Amino acid sequence: MASRLLADEAATRDFGKALASALPVPAGCPLVIYLQGDLGAGKTTLCRAILRGLGWQGAVRSPTYTLMEPYRLDHPRIVEALHLDLYRLGDPAELEFLGLQDGLDQPALWLVEWPEKGRGFLPSPDLWLSLSPAADDSRRLEMTVRHDNPHGLLESALP
């Protein structure tokens, strides 16, 4: 597990853009990133920055009410992204109605906020990002890479 301090919102955005540059090509299945943290921890800010780092120019809406927001990217390595925010999910079984099972063999990036709400219905994360408050406006970011991820993502490649 790697850890770093993000001094403020700008540092969170900078990290997200740098992470986008370090992500490998998804290999025949989604590259899944879990984002964990309390309300206001910076999960959506980080997702927005990752999408911006992958070239998305349009609005990046928090899918708090829709649960899922797809993005078609004009990027050489990652052409599809799915942003999920499961905060308002009542039961993990509700994920079956989103059609996520259809995307399990598609090379896309999945950014999943509040993954614990989808336990048992989500694929394992390839990268787990946990944000927690630190001094002042800073955030502690802990990063865990699944050692057997199929995409070749390495902790040493993370910004």
Q: What is the pLDDT of residue 64?
A: 79
Q: What is the pLDDT of residue 143?
A: 96
Q: Is residue 59 part of a domain?
A: yes
How far is C-alpha 44 from the geometric centre of its chain's CA atoms? 9
Q: What is the pLDDT of residue 106?
A: 87
- What is the number of domains present in the chain? 1
Helix (H, G, I), strand (E, B) or coil at 46: helix
Query: Would you give the DSSP letter of residue 43?
Result: H
- Domain extent at residue 131: 2-92+103-146
159 residues of the chain, pLDDT tens digit each = 899 999 999 999 999 999 999 999 998 899 999 999 999 889 999 999 999 999 999 988 888 778 899 999 999 999 999 999 999 888 888 888 887 777 778 899 999 999 999 998 899 999 999 999 988 889 999 999 999 999 999 998 999
User: For tokens 């630190």, what's the residue?
Assistant: 134
**CA 91/CA 52 separation, integer angstroms:** 31
Residue 60: count other Cβ atoms within 10 Å of its Cβ.
Answer: 18
Q: Is residue 33 part of a domain?
A: yes
Q: Is residue 126 part of a domain?
A: yes
